[in-house]
Structure formats: structure tokens, C-alpha cells
Amino acid sequence: MRITLRLIAALLVAASLVVAVSTYLQVRAETRKLTEDLARRGSMLADALGELAAAPLAARDAAELSRLVQTYGGREGLVGVAVFDPAGVALAASASLTPDLRAVQLLAPRALGPEGRVSRLVRDRYIYAVPVRDEGTLVGVLAVVRDAAAIRTTLSRMWRHNFLRLLSHAVLISLVSLLIIRWNILAPIDQMTGWMKQIRSGETSAAPPVARGLFEPLASEATQMARSLAAARAAAEEEARLRQQGQSLWTPERLKEHVKEKLEGRPLFVVANREPYVHARQGKKVQVIVPASGLVTGIEPILLACGGTWVAHGSGDADREMADAAGRLPVPPEEPRYTLKRVWLTPEEEEGYYYGFSNEGLWPLCHIAHTRPIFREEDWRHYQAANKKFADALLEEMGDVRDPVVLVQDYHFALLPALIKRRRPDARVALFWHIPWPNPEAFGICPWQRELLAGMLGADLVGFHIQFHCNNFLETVDQALECRIDGERFAVQRAGHLTLVKPFPISIAFSEPPVRSQAEPSQEALRKALGATARYLGVGVDRVDYTKGIVERFRGVERCLEKHPEYQGQLVFVELGAPSRTHIKRYQEHMNEVEAEAARINARFQSKDYKPIVFLNRHHSHAEIEPYYKAADFCMVTSLADGMNLVAKEFVSARADECGVLILSRFTGAARELHDAVVVNPYDTGQTADAIRYALEMSPDEQGRRMAGMRAQLKENNIYRWASRLITELAAIRL
């Protein structure tokens, strides 16, 4: 309240000052105007009367002078007229002039002096005196006195009027200020204070009540602070709970401490083609997108826990304007924990290195999914150049950090480990290959297999998801290069350098109790939104990629409806398919195939308010995907080949209710860990159809048992354990 009063007082003083100064100036101008008017009139009248008085004055004709002053002295606006001889003695004066005669007498003789005519405002009288001459001889002085009371009245009216105006303005301003302060400042402060109290006591986790106007930036900062507080509280509670239960689960906090200890405080460097945050222009706004990528899902929690630098291709159309001149920016945007360093590629480089060699060559080469790899010399040149470019960017970021630790991600950077090691032998480099590694014969069709393998073996550690891929890699190296394979340690000795080859099954940040999100739609609400009246809901979540077996999955649904017609009208399968690598012809063809297959199957079974397959082909945020995981009776992952597959793990993680069934392709890395999934061969449509039916008819008990088993396995083997194992292994290597 005190601040309100002070503000109002300040406003009043400021308003008074402005009005006082402006009124003063106005009054001064008005006085000048009115006085000039009086002077003009006085001068005209005095001149005219002076002419009339000249002769009587010369003749000292008192009677005539007296008649003259009486005749003219009573005119409107005039107080009177007086005539003086050259010695200043009054010869005649209007009777009405008596009270003012003294003042007139004092002034009038001055008109005889060198000044000539004189005038003066004396109290409410304006005296104007002119010398009177008769044929050139000074014969006396004539003074006219006008009533000037009107000036004072006008001026005091002016002051009064302005004072009232000031008063009303001041009252109005104070009222408006009071209301503005009340509504826009005091009320939000009250609300914010109440909200902070609730946050402090843990009664709420909702966003602050004030989100607009003056307090918007403050509210946004407060939200971040509240989130950090909630996260810190949750982490502390989780740690305490685990300690209490004697469990040794991996948490972000534990990983952070572990990495700090293992790396002795040195920062972590990650190189991945995909960036964790893409800035994309949407109309006039810039939007932040977290791309649909298993790699991002897996790696981001590590940097969130440990900090460091993520070097990646800046692929968004607004990426440059959001980064500094060196391509750096702190992320996550709302609560920075590590640095993202963006590397810029020309469209030709991206075409050759990313779309060409990486995704038309290596991707189909490593996933045996019957899409023929394409190897072009030009793409290979771009791949080499891009690897060099990323190596340069990384070396620049590492600067003079001693013994840096580098995690290189995926098949886009097979050459990077050797490039880094050549220039920084003190760096510890791990390469994690997120996709499968085929048998030596399959890999051997790559014209540059030796160069790729040599590049990879620059790393101190090469990781795959499963032992099977490690074995394939070791066999490939053995057949393609001059080297020694250490079968006991799973290592390759080549040109004096040792590379360990180990499996590290990647995972997700499984959290229990699950992170509570805002009101999520129920299964009912989801089905309604999808326009489906069906009883059962199945879900698939993928980048639309030919390795994910989406078409095979749809055929499994079709076959199930054929074999078990009782499910027609009862089962809806929703595929959330994020368009991926749409630049590549094979991916465009695949998208068309998926759409056509969904349309074909729908045409067979659909009715007025039912279609069995809903294909939502757009990127969905994790918050949007989560309700589908939670509402589904089953989730289908039917990859034809897949390094791990995190969707399977995300589905299990979302099912804290221990309901729902995971149908999982045996060709995923995940199938080696999630033994309680219903495992299928996606090429076997009949088997997939049976698995769907089995899932739909599975008893709640069996669902609970299977889900609990998978959750226990995931809880233990989360992404933090994955990261800790990778870093422990890397830190233990003697360079």
C-alpha cells in the first residue's frame, strides 16, 4: 500500500507542477494581451482628448477644462480624466477620480519629461498620460484612467479554472493508477505469492497463475524454477527411496556423480548427426522441435545429467538465427544444461553424406530388409568430407581440454574416430553403432568397407546393442583387414592400437513412479477423437521407414480380422508414423505403400463409423504419444531389422498399470531383453495375426505378469546404466 501512496503522491506533484507552470505562462501571456489592449485604447482616447484640451489649456480656461473632464470622464470603461498644467498642478479632474487622483498626480508629470507619453497599471487602474501641445508649445498633460479590474478578474478566473482542472485530473489519474496497480500489479503479486507458498510446501506443481502482461517473463522464470525444484525434490525422494529399499538403480544424479568421478570432472563430447533440438520456422514464429529419433531419446538424458557439448548438423531452417556466430547455443532452451554446437552443411554435402552414403548406402546395408544399398562415388567423397568437417568442429570445441572423452554416434561417422585420434591421441574415443551390423558377406558388398572399418577402429571402444552384432563386426574386420582378433577380450589389435568391441543395449529413462503429466485423455476419449467406436485399441509408433515393418503390421491386422471376424468393428489399430528421410525416393515410395496398404485394408472392413487402421502420418511430441501408449490394449513393433527399438521400451515404461501387451519382432535388439513380449516374425503374417488375437484375449493376470517382468528389467537396465557402463568401460581403457 505504501508504494501505491508514494506513486500517487508522485503523480500528484508532477501533475501540479505541470499545471502550475503552464498556468503561469498562460496568465503572463493573457496579462500582456489585456494590458496592450488597454494601452491601445488609452492612447487613442488620450490623443483625442488631448487635442480637445489643447486650446482651453493654453488659455487656462478652467471652466472649459472642467466641462471637458466631466463630459468625457463618465464614458464606459473610463474611471475619469484629469488635466495638469506644465508644472504638474491638477487643473481639472473627473469627480470619480478622486480616490485615484494621487496616483495619477504622481505619474502624469512624467509625461512632461523626455519619456513623453507614459502609462502604468496601478492596482485596478490603468493610467495613460500624454503631453498636450498647442501649436507646438507644451501647455500641460492629459491623463485618462481606465478601469482595469477586468484583468484581475480574468486572471484569477484563469487560476481558479486551472486549479479545478488540476484537481479533477489528479483525482482521475490517481483513481486510474490505483485500479491499474490493483489489477495489474497487486493482484498478480498476491496470486504469485500464494502460488509460491504452495510450491514451497509441495501442494501444487501447476504453472503459476500469472502468465500474461507485465509479469510474463517473471512467471516464465518462476515456472522454470518450480520445475527445477520439483525435479530436484523428485530426484532426492527417489534417491532416498532407493537407499531405503537397498536398491542400486541408476538415476540421473547417480550417473552425474559417477561420470564426474570417472572423467575426473572433464567435460563430455558427443558427436551425432541428429541434433536434439531443431529450430524450425512456422510462419513468423520459430518453433523448437525434438526430432523423432531413438538416438536423441537415448543420448539426451546423459548430457542432461552430465553436461558437455553435443556436436550435430544444424538442420533446421531457423537454426542459424538461434545460434551464435560459432554455431553454439545452450540447451534445453527452457533450462540449459549443456552446449549444442551446430555444424553447417551445404545442400550438396547433406545430399551426398547424409541422404546418399549414410541412408541410401549404409542404412540398407546394415539392415537386411531387402532394400538394395546404393553406393555412389560422389556420395562417398561427401561422406569423407563431412566426417572431416565434423572432426574439425569437434577438435575446435575440445580446444585445450586435456584427455577429452568423446562419444561418437552412429553410422554417419565411421571415419571420425581415426580422424580424431590422429590429431588428438590423448582423446578417449568410443563409437556407438545404433543399427545392426550384418554378416561379413553382406557388409562386404560395400566398395569402401576397408576404409570404413579402419576409420571405426580408430576408436578405443566400439559399441553395438547386442553381442550378435559385435560378433558380426569382429568377423567382418577379421575377413577384411590385416589385424589380430582377441577372442577372449572381444578386441581388435591393429597397427599398435587396441579397440574393444562390446555390447551396450541402449534403453530409456525409465521412471517409477511414472512422471505425472497433465490430464491425459482416456482410452475412451482417444477412440472418440479418432472417430472409432471399437472396443480394442492397438498402437504402433515409428519413423516411417521400410525397416520398421509397418506394411507387415497392417497385414497382420488384416489377417487377424479375416481369421477372426468377431473383431471386425471391434479393433482399431492406430499408427503414429513420423515422416522420415522424405527426400529419398525409396522413403517416398514406402510412404505411398504404407498409405495404400492402410487404404486397401480399410476399404475391405470399414463401415459408416469404423475403419480398422488409422494412419496419423506426422511427427508427434512425446507428450502426444504417451496417451496412446497408456490407452492401447497392445503395442506392435514389427521391425524387419532394428538395432534395439526404443518404442518397445517406451510402451512398457508407460504401462505403470501393468496392463497391455507388447508384440515384438524377433529381429529387434529389444527382443533379446524383453522376454515377456509376444515375439513374432513379421514376415509371417499368420503368426502376427495370431499374436494380435492372443494379445486381445490375454487374461489380465498374464498381462500383469508379463508387463511386471518387462518393467523390472527396464527399471534395472535404464539409459543411465547404459551410459555409466559405456563411460566406465571407456575410462578404464589404458591409452
Residue 513: cis peptide before it, omega within 30 degrees of 0: yes
Kindly state the smallest distance separating residue 539's Cβ from ligand ADQ, in Å: 11
The amino acid at residue 62 is A
Kindly state the smallest distance separating residue 574's Cβ from ligand ADQ, in Å: 11
Q: 140 or 417: whose CB is closer to ligand ADQ?
A: 417
Kindly state the smallest distance separating residue 648's Cβ from ligand ADQ, in Å: 8
Kindly state the smallest distance separating residue 726's Cβ from ligand ADQ, in Å: 12
Q: 23 or 297: whose CB is closer to ligand ADQ?
A: 297
Is residue 112 classed as helix, strand or coil in its secondary structure? Answer: helix
Going by C-alpha positions, the residue among 359, 416, 351 that lies closest to residue 378 is: 351
Residue 228, CA distances (Å) to 166, 218, 494, 510 in order: 51, 15, 48, 19
Q: 465 or 706: whose CB is closer to ligand ADQ?
A: 465
Kindly state the smallest distance separating residue 533's Cβ from ligand ADQ, in Å: 24
Instruction: Supply the DSSP symbol for 201.
Output: T
Q: 45 or 292: whose CB is closer to ligand ADQ?
A: 292
Kindly state the smallest distance separating residue 579's Cβ from ligand ADQ, in Å: 8
Separation CA 171–CA 701 (nearest Å): 75
Kindly state the smallest distance separating residue 678's Cβ from ligand ADQ, in Å: 18
Q: Between helices 294-306 and 719-732, what is the axis angle to 10°?
A: 70
Q: 146 or 543: whose CB is closer to ligand ADQ?
A: 543
Q: How far apart are the first and last CA of the chain?
A: 69
Q: 295 or 302: whose CB is closer to ligand ADQ?
A: 295
Kindly state the smallest distance separating residue 591's Cβ from ligand ADQ, in Å: 13
Separation CA 443–CA 361 (nearest Å): 11
Q: Which residue is nearest to ligand ADQ (CB)?
A: 294
Is residue 684 classed as helix, strand or coil in its secondary structure? Answer: coil
Going by C-alpha positions, the residue among 150, 690, 637, 735 that lies closest to residue 406 is: 735
Q: 45 or 625: whose CB is closer to ligand ADQ?
A: 625
Kindly state the smallest distance separating residue 420's Cβ from ligand ADQ, in Å: 21
Kindly state the smallest distance separating residue 358's Cβ from ligand ADQ, in Å: 13
Asked if 382 and 349 count as a contact pair (C-beta separation under 8 A), the reply is: yes
Residue 332: cis peptide before it, omega within 30 degrees of 0: yes
Task: Please tell me the number of Cα atoms within 13 Å of 164 on its side-chain side.
Answer: 5
- For residue 659, report the phi and psi dihedrals to the nearest 5 degrees: -120, 165
Q: Which residues bind ligand ADQ (CB under 6 A)?
A: 292-295, 297-298, 434-435, 506, 541-543, 576-578, 619-620, 625, 642-647, 650
Concatenating the DSSP letter of every residue in 147-178 gives: E-HHHHHHHHHHHHHHHHHHHHHHHHHHHHHH
Secondary structure, 3-state, 623-634: HHHHHHHHHCCE
Q: How does 258-276 read in b/e, with b if 16+ C-beta sit within 10 Å?
A: bbeebbeebbbbbbbbbbb
Q: Which helix (H) or strand (E) holds 192?
A: helix 187-200
Concatenating the DSSP letter of every residue in 553-614 gives: HHHHHHHHHHH-GGGTTTEEEEEEEE---TTSHHHHHHHHHHHHHHHHHHHHH-BTTB-SEE
Q: 94 or 580: whose CB is closer to ligand ADQ?
A: 580
Kindly state the smallest distance separating residue 504's Cβ from ligand ADQ, in Å: 10
Q: 322 or 576: whose CB is closer to ligand ADQ?
A: 576
Q: 54 or 501: whose CB is closer to ligand ADQ?
A: 501
Kindly state the smallest distance separating residue 601's Cβ from ligand ADQ, in Å: 20
Partners of 313 in the beta sheet? 343
Separation CA 635–CA 87 (nearest Å): 125
Q: 455 or 577: whose CB is closer to ligand ADQ?
A: 577
Kindly state the smallest distance separating residue 481's Cβ from ligand ADQ, in Å: 26
Kindly state the smallest distance separating residue 342's Cβ from ligand ADQ, in Å: 20
Cβ neighbours for 115, distance < 8 A, ≥ 6 positions apart = none
Q: 404 or 549: whose CB is closer to ligand ADQ?
A: 549
Q: 53 or 506: whose CB is closer to ligand ADQ?
A: 506
Is residue 330 classed as helix, strand or coil in its secondary structure? Answer: strand
Partners of 93 in the beta sheet? 82
Asked if 53 and 132 count as a contact pair (C-beta separation under 8 A), the reply is: yes
Q: 118 or 663: whose CB is closer to ligand ADQ?
A: 663
Count CB-CB contacts under 10 A for residue 358.
22
